[in-house]
Amino acid sequence: MNYWQLGIGILLLLVMGGCQGDTNSDKKENTLEGTWVLVEGYRGGRKTESLNDTYFTFTDQMMLTNLPIPGGTEGPYTQKDNIITHTLKSGMTLDYTIRDISDTQLTLMVNLRGLDFIFVLKRGKKNN
């Protein structure tokens, strides 16, 4: 009887631990997916209006943005911890740092042409 109860207890712990791990993993992976539109943009530490209407769209393995980046704006990306590496058509890569992320807001930082940019984004639809 004791071995049977021990076996059931171990089985329950394994099942519960396995389910919990899948849920957290799925949540973490899917948080970035979707379209994010600019709320505020900063260039060199100063707020700028020239980034208005900027958006980023993340799908399973692809990232699309309307930033005027040489080498194209659509390409595959990878995410490791808080770094998003976007590979452009030209082969150039850009590393975006996720400063903050929630279900509704995303803050990205990147250095382009020697200038630091910060994008404060909200989940939404891009303007056409």
Cα 32 to Cα 49, 70, 95: the distances in Å are: 25, 24, 15
Residue type, 115: L
pLDDT at 6 over 70: no
Cα 108 to Cα 9, 82, 117, 127: the distances in Å are: 44, 10, 8, 20
Is the full-model pTM beyond 0.85? Answer: no
87 or 4, greater pLDDT? 87
pLDDT at 65 over 50: yes
In the chain, where are the structural domains located?
A: 1-30, 33-123
Q: Model confidence over 18-46: pLDDT tens digits?
A: 554 444 444 444 489 999 999 999 999 99
Q: Model confidence over 94-111: pLDDT tens digits?
A: 999 999 999 999 999 999
18 or 113, greater pLDDT? 113
> Is the Cβ–Cβ distance between 52 and 38 less than 8 Å?
yes
Q: Band of the pLDDT at 15, cuts 50, 70, 90? A: low
Instruction: Please state which architecture CATH assigns to domain 33-123.
Output: Beta Barrel (2.40)
Taking phi over 0 as left and psi of -120 to 50 as alpha, with beta for the rest, 85 belongs to beta
